[in-house]
Amino acid sequence: MVNVLMIDETDNVATVLEAVASGTKVSVATAGGNVDVVVKNDIPYGHKFALGAIARGTPVRKYGSSIGDALTDIAAGEHVHMHNVAGGRLRGDATRG
């Protein structure tokens, strides 16, 4: 079982608490039941993956807050990081596309 963290029911990403290899099935407990996602990329410790599809321009929500907007369409299970999210609470060198 992969350890993940999702704080708020409005989150559309979860954070891995251990490195996860591409192709790994991850189960995230939610109030509505488990969400099962197969990760599409290697996800380093402490990074996020999409719980479902996130359309370009949609806020990315972590811990109940927006951390920025999706720069591209992000598929369920895809690594979510500075390469596909801009604004909000990212490093200062990230730019909006």
Domains, the chain, ordered by start = 4-86 (2.30.130.110)
Is 6's pLDDT higher than 60? yes
Is 90's pLDDT higher than 70? no
Q: Buried (b) or exposed (e) across 59-70, using 16+ Cβ within 10 A?
A: bbbbeeebbbbb
**Token pair belonging to 11:** 């989150």
Helix, strand, coil share of the chain (percent; to 5): 0, 40, 60
Question: In the structure, what pLDDT confidence band is assigned to residue 97 with cuts at 50, 70 and 90?
Answer: very low
Per-residue pLDDT reduced to its tens digit, 33-89 = 888 999 999 999 999 999 999 999 999 999 999 999 999 999 999 999 999 999 865
- What pLDDT score does 39 carry? 97
pTM above 0.85, yes or no: yes
